[in-house]
């Protein structure tokens, strides 16, 4: 928990200017030529958004596993924010 809290604290210190900083990194898009990476433009903000989305995806898998074991993680656990907003509008 201490490590997670430290990460949250560090992430909260990222400035808006740093979020917009452009990045370029290798992207594995093919198994045919793994030694020749493609390069893609991104930003710190975009990478953090992807990380959040991918984490929610994994949480949804954890939720399924928990439910098969008789545990209820909560209706919002592992559900994308856009889905939660949509559900609130239609309820």
Per-residue confidence (pLDDT) for residue 89, from 0 to 100: 94
54 located within any domain: yes
Can you read off the two tokens belonging to residue 15?
């400035």
Per-residue confidence (pLDDT) for residue 28, from 0 to 100: 78
Domain extent at residue 68: 44-91
Residue 40 has pLDDT above 70, yes or no: yes
Per-residue confidence (pLDDT) for residue 43, from 0 to 100: 92
The count of structural domains within the chain is 1
34 — pLDDT class (breaks 50, 70, 90) = low
How many whole angstroms separate alpha carbon 85 and alpha carbon 41?
A: 30
Averaged pLDDT score across all residues of the chain? 91
27 located within any domain: no
Segment holding 82, helix H or strand E:
helix 81-90
Per-residue confidence (pLDDT) for residue 37, from 0 to 100: 76
SS3 51: helix
83 located within any domain: yes
Per-residue confidence (pLDDT) for residue 56, from 0 to 100: 97
Residue 36 has pLDDT above 80, yes or no: no
70 located within any domain: yes
């Amino acid at each position: 928990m201490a490590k997670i809290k430290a990460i949250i604290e560090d992430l909260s210190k990222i400035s808006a200017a740093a979020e917009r900083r452009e990045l370029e990194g290798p992207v594995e898009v093919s198994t045919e030529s793994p030694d020749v990476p493609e390069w893609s433009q991104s930003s710190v903000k975009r990478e953090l958004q992807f990380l959040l989305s991918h984490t929610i995806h994994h949480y949804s898998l954890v939720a399924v596993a928990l439910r098969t074991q008789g545990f209820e993680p909560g209706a919002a656990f592992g559900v994308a924010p856009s889905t939660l907003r949509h559900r609130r509008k239609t309820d």
